[in-house]
Structure 1
Amino acid sequence: MKGFWISTAALALAGCATAYDAAPVPEVAAAPPAVTQSMPEQMASMDPSDSILFWSDERRSAAFRDMEGLFPGLEVAPANRVRELPRAAGALPADVQAEIRAYMAQTQAAGVMALKDGEVVFEEYGLGFGADDRWTSFSVAKSFTSTLLGAAIEDGAIDSVDTPVTEIIPALAGTAYDGVSVGQIASMTSGVAWNEDYTDPNSDVARMLAIAPVAGESQAVTYARTLEREAPAGEKWVYKTLETNLLGLIVEQATGQLLAAYAAQKIVEPAGFEGGMFWMQDLTGGNIGGCCLSLRLADYARMGQFALEGGEGIVPAGWFANAGSPLVDFGERAPGFGYGYQWWTYPGDTYGAQGIFGQAITIVPEEELVVAIVSNWPSATSSDHRAGFRTLVGKIAAALDD
Structure 2
Amino acid sequence: MKKWIFGALLFVAAAAGGFWVSADKDMKALISHLPTDSNVLFWSVEQRDVGFRTMDRIPILAKANVIAKGDKVYPLPAGEPLKIGMDVDAYMKAQRTAGLVILQDGKVRMEKYGLDFTAQGKWTSFSVAKSFTSTMVGAAIKDGYIKSIDDKVSAYIPDLKGSAYDDVTIKQLLTMTSGVKWNEDYTDPKSDVALFNLHKAEKGMDVTVSYMRKLPREAPAGTKWVYKTGETNLIGVLVSSATKKTLSSYLSEKVWAPFGMEQDATWLLGSTGHEISGCCIQASTRDYARFGAFIMGGAKINGVGILPDDWLAPATSKQADIGMAGKGYGYQWWTYDDGSFAAQGIFGQGIFIDPKRNLVIASNSNWPKATDPDTVGVQREAFYKAVQAAVDAEAKPLLK
Give the TM-score normalised by structure 1. 0.85
Post-superposition offset of 1:213: 2.5
CA RMSD of aligned residues (A): 2.1
Decide which of 314, 337, 353 is 2:306's aligned counterpart: 314
Task: Give CA deviations for 1:208-259 in whole Å, capped at 9, x if unaligned.
Answer: 2321132210011011033111000000000000000000011000000110
Paired amino acid for 1:186 = L
Say whether residues 1:355 and 2:311 are aligned partners.
no
Equivalence for 1:81: 72
User: SS of the residue aligned with 2:111?
Assistant: strand
305-314 vs 290-299, greater mean Cα deviation: 305-314
* Alpha-carbon distance in structure 2 between the residues aligned to 1:267 and 1:211: 33
Post-superposition offset of 1:273: 0.7
Equivalence for 1:58: 46
Decide which of 303, 324, 338 is 2:316's aligned counterpart: 324
Post-superposition offset of 1:366: 0.5
Say whether residues 1:106 and 2:82 are aligned partners.
no
Equivalence for 1:208: 196
* Alpha-carbon distance in structure 1 between the residues aligned to 2:258 and 2:342: 19
User: SS of the residue aligned with 1:142?
Assistant: helix
Q: Is the 8 A contact 1:165 1:182 kept in 2?
A: yes
Paired amino acid for 1:377 = W
Equivalence for 2:380: 389
Give the TM-score normalised by structure 2. 0.85
Post-superposition offset of 1:48: 12
Task: Give CA deviations for 1:45-93 in whole Å, capped at 9, x if unaligned.
Answer: xx996221221112122110011122111112322221010011x2111
Post-superposition offset of 1:200: 2.0
- Superposed, which structure 2 residues align to 1:141-290 within 5 Å? 141-290=129-278
Equivalence for 1:335: 325
User: SS of the residue aligned with 1:379?
Assistant: coil
Are the structure 2 counterparts of residues 246 and 66 from structure 1 closer, same or farther at C-alpha, using a change threshold of 3 Å? same
Post-superposition offset of 1:135: 0.1
132-141 vs 49-58, greater mean Cα deviation: 49-58
Are the structure 2 counterparts of residues 278 and 361 from structure 1 closer, same or farther at C-alpha, using a change threshold of 3 Å? same
Task: Give CA deviations for 1:293-348 in whole Å, capped at 9, x if unaligned.
Answer: 01000000000000101113211124222201000133xx3111100000001231
User: SS of the residue aligned with 1:329?
Assistant: coil
* Alpha-carbon distance in structure 2 between the residues aligned to 1:58 and 1:200: 24
Are the structure 2 counterparts of residues 49 and 212 from structure 1 closer, same or farther at C-alpha, using a change threshold of 3 Å? farther
Post-superposition offset of 1:204: 1.4
Decide which of 107, 113, 128 is 2:116's aligned counterpart: 128
Task: Give CA deviations for 1:100-125 in whole Å, capped at 9, x if unaligned.
Answer: 22111002110111000111000000
Say whether residues 1:399 and 2:400 are aligned partners.
no
User: SS of the residue aligned with 2:165?
Assistant: coil
Equivalence for 1:91: 81
Equivalence for 1:367: 357
Post-superposition offset of 1:157: 0.4
Paired amino acid for 1:335 = A
* Alpha-carbon distance in structure 2 between the residues aligned to 1:54 and 1:166: 36
Question: Number of residue pairs matched?
Answer: 356
Task: Give CA deviations for 1:16-71 in whole Å, capped at 9, x if unaligned.
Answer: xxxxxxxxxxxxxxxxxxxxxxxx9x99xxx9962212211121221100111221
Are the structure 2 counterparts of residues 318 and 121 from structure 1 closer, same or farther at C-alpha, using a change threshold of 3 Å? farther
Post-superposition offset of 1:99: 2.5
**Which segments of 5 or more consecutive residues in structure 2 lack a partner in the other structure?**
6-26, 394-400
* Alpha-carbon distance in structure 1 between the residues aligned to 2:125 and 2:36: 20
Paired amino acid for 1:74 = N
Task: Give CA deviations for 1:175-218 in whole Å, capped at 9, x if unaligned.
Answer: 12111000001100000111111222332112323211322100
* Alpha-carbon distance in structure 2 between the residues aligned to 1:49 and 1:175: 34
233-242 vs 208-217, greater mean Cα deviation: 208-217
Q: Is the 8 A contact 1:109 1:127 kept in 2?
A: yes
* Alpha-carbon distance in structure 2 between the residues aligned to 1:301 and 1:118: 10
* Alpha-carbon distance in structure 1 between the residues aligned to 2:102 and 2:283: 16
Equivalence for 1:118: 106
Paired amino acid for 1:327 = Q
Decide which of 335, 341, 344 is 2:334's aligned counterpart: 344
Q: Is the 8 A contact 1:112 1:371 kept in 2?
A: yes
Q: Is the 8 A contact 2:68 2:257 kept in 1?
A: no
* Alpha-carbon distance in structure 2 between the residues aligned to 1:69 and 1:267: 24
Sequence identity, in percent?
A: 46
Equivalence for 2:15: none
Q: Is the 8 A contact 1:49 1:201 kept in 2?
A: no
